[in-house]
Amino acid sequence: MNRVTQTRIGKNGNCFNACIASILEVPLETVPEFSGEGEHWLVQLAGYLDRFGLYYVQVPKTDPIVKVMFAYGNTFSTIEGVSPNNIPHACVALNGKLVWDPDPRKVGLRTIETYGLLGARCDR
């Protein structure tokens, strides 16, 4: 994992993009902006990750799959919740534990709500 720092902070920050760039070890500027309401941003993310042979699944922290995914070796994921500033925020986790906060202020997470798991796609 490369530690990529977000370039925008606050409500329109790009912390999630920095997390994806960190996990994939690509420059931040090569990760497109994922925007839109509801599931639209997930469709955009799926299209981007497809070129890496990956997909993304966001699960609540209480989902039983979280424990299973982190039980077998080193697994990077995104970890999302609310920052101490009451703004949605994303960081990188390793085996469920926060290991990289892309915010240059290192605000961390006040609450953890979801994990974003990357999975490998099979050849079609």
Q: What is the full per-residue pLDDT of the chain (124 aa) written as tens digits?
A: 999 999 999 888 999 999 999 999 999 999 998 876 667 888 999 999 999 999 999 999 999 988 888 888 899 999 999 999 999 999 999 999 999 999 999 999 999 999 999 999 887 5
Nearest partner of 72 among 56, 54, 96, 90, judged by Cα: 96
Separation of alpha carbons 121 and 36, rounded Å: 25
Distances (CA, A) of 106 to 78, 91, 102, 110: 16, 10, 7, 12
Q: Nearest 5 degrees, angle CA 54-CA 59-CA 60?
A: 160
Residue 6 near residue 102, CB atoms below 8 Å: yes
The pTM of the full predicted model, rounded to 2 decimals, is 0.93
